[in-house]
Amino acid sequence: MSSDVRFTDFKSDKQPTWCPGCGDFGTMNGMMKALAETGNDPDNTFVVAGIGCSGKIGTYMHSYALHGVHGRALPVGQGVKMARPDIEVMVAGGDGDGYSIGAGHFVHAVRRNVDMTYVVMDNRIYGLTKGQASPTSRSDFETSTTPEGPKQPPVNPLALALASGASFIAQSFSSDALRHQEIVQEAIEHDGFGFVNVFSPCVTFNDVDTYDYFRDNLVDLQEDEDHDPNDYEAAKEVILDSDKEYQGVMYKDENSVPYHEKHGVTEDMSEIPEGAPDDAMDLVREFY
């Protein structure tokens, strides 16, 4: 790791094709800054991206990266981290990618508590497929596939994480640049699975969950002196409060023991001998 890494080193020379004004620009900038700020560089970082407008992030960033199939980014990230504990792993995707097709993986990634960071760009809509309801869409949100609204309550990703035994749960807003960066940074520094749900507005297909809406409604937990992120009950209260939109670190388990420590997965698995291991004949003798 070199100390003179700048966040622009994480930028690829590919120009984003996101719509002008898309929340994903801010989300990505904050991620790059957080990575640089925590002492990482492109050669020791692996970014896994999902599918969606959000998933294009892997293309616009510069690092080791994989842009996978829809909903499966988390398993890839866990595989990278287990094989290479020395590598910083960041997984990014959308609300559809993470909470719909990938919901099963989300629950299990959370409970495994692998030491990595998961950033979900939650725009409460499917952007890339042009405006269908997502799992976080409001129940009366009219879209091309739900003309009268989905008529079912939205998934609460923070509650899902809490119920799955998360060790770090946070939420940020892409246009509150500094706070977003700080929160992602804290997630990176957390020993375990750092989960950040980012309000990242879609200016093209979502005219309800807009910048103005979040600006007017967002409550920053940092300003609430009573909120102690280490307090599970307090976390539960804000996470289950459906009347308000919060940003900040909701929950952080100070005693989090990451997967690699629990399972003793600490070796760099990329190095192997040039032939069978020296004592390999013992494997055969076991069958005597």
Partner 1 sequence: MAEDLNWAVGGEAGDGIDSTGKIFAQALSRAGRHVFTSKDFASRIRGGYTAYKIRTSVDRVQSVVDRLDILVALTQRTIDENLDELHEESAIIYDGERSWEADIPDEMTAVDVPLKSLAEDAGGAIMRNIVALGAACEITNFDVEYLDEALEKRFGGKGSKIVENNKEAARLGQQYVQENYDLDLDYDLDTTDEDYVLLNGNEAIGMGALAAGCRFYAGYPITPATSIMEYLTGRIEDYGGHVVQAEDELSAINMALGAARSGARAMTATSGAGIDLMTETFGLVAQSETPLVITDVQRSGPSTGMPTKQEQGDLNMALYGGHGEIPRFVVTPTSIAECFWKTIEAFNLAEKYQIPVFLVSDLAMSVTEQTFRPETFDMDEVEIDRGKLVDEDEVDEWLDAQGRFRAHAVTEDGVSPRAIPGTTDGAHMSTGLEHDELGRRTEDEDERVQQVDKRYRKVETAEEQEDWDYREFGDSDADNLVISWGSNEGALREALEYLEEDDIDLRVISVPYIFPRPDLSDEIEAADEVIVVECNATGQFADLLEHDALTRLKRINKYTGVRFKADELAEQITDKLSAEVPAQ
Ligand X SMILES: Cc1ncc(C[n+]2csc(CCOP(=O)(O)OP(=O)(O)O)c2C)c(N)n1
- The residues that touch ligand X, with contacts defined as CB under 6 A, are 51-54, 70, 93-97, 121, 123, 125-129, 134
- Give the torsion through C-alpha atoms of 164, 168, 174, 179, to 10 deg: 160
- Regarding 83 and contact with partner 1 (CB under 8 A), the answer is yes
Site for partner 1 in 136-165 (CB under 8 A): none
**What's the DSSP call for residue 7?**
G
For the bound state, the minimum distance from the C-beta of residue 259 to ligand X, rounded and expressed in Å, comes to 25
For the bound state, the minimum distance from the C-beta of residue 47 to partner 1, rounded and expressed in Å, comes to 8
SS3 18: coil
| CB 204, CB 127: distance < 8 Å | yes
Query: Residue 176 contacts by C-beta under 8 Å, 6 or more apart in sequence?
Result: 218, 247
- Regarding 119 and contact with partner 1 (CB under 8 A), the answer is no
For the bound state, the minimum distance from the C-beta of residue 264 to ligand X, rounded and expressed in Å, comes to 35
DSSP notation for 88-150: EEEEEEEHHIIIIITHHHHHHHHHHT-S-EEEEEE-SSBTTTTSB--TTS-TT---SS-TT--
Candidates 3, 15, 255, 270: give the one binding partner 1 (CB under 8 A).
Answer: 270
Judged by beta carbon distances under 5 to 8 A according to partner kind, the member of ligand SF4, ligand X, partner 1, none in contact with residue 96 is ligand X
Residue 262: both structure tokens together: 């629990």
Instruction: Give the residue with the Cβ less far from ligand SF4, 130 or 215.
Output: 130
For the bound state, the minimum distance from the C-beta of residue 4 to ligand X, rounded and expressed in Å, comes to 33
| CB 46, CB 64: distance < 8 Å | yes
Tell me how far CA of residue 75 lies from CA of 20, 79, 91, 283, in angstroms. Answer: 31, 6, 10, 30
Site for partner 1 in 31-60 (CB under 8 A): 42-46, 48, 58-59
Instruction: Give the residue with the Cβ less far from ligand SF4, 168 or 205.
Output: 205
- Regarding 1 and contact with partner 1 (CB under 8 A), the answer is no
For the bound state, the minimum distance from the C-beta of residue 108 to partner 1, rounded and expressed in Å, comes to 4
Instruction: Give the residue with the Cβ less far from ligand SF4, 204 or 256.
Output: 204
Terminal Cα-to-Cα distance of the chain (whole angstroms): 49
For the bound state, the minimum distance from the C-beta of residue 203 to ligand SF4, rounded and expressed in Å, comes to 5
- Give the torsion through C-alpha atoms of 81, 18, 140, 122, to 10 deg: 20
Query: Interface residues with partner 1 (CB under 8 A)?
Result: 12-14, 42-46, 48, 58-59, 62-69, 72, 74-84, 86-87, 104-105, 107-108, 263-265, 267-270, 272-277, 280-281, 283-285, 287-288
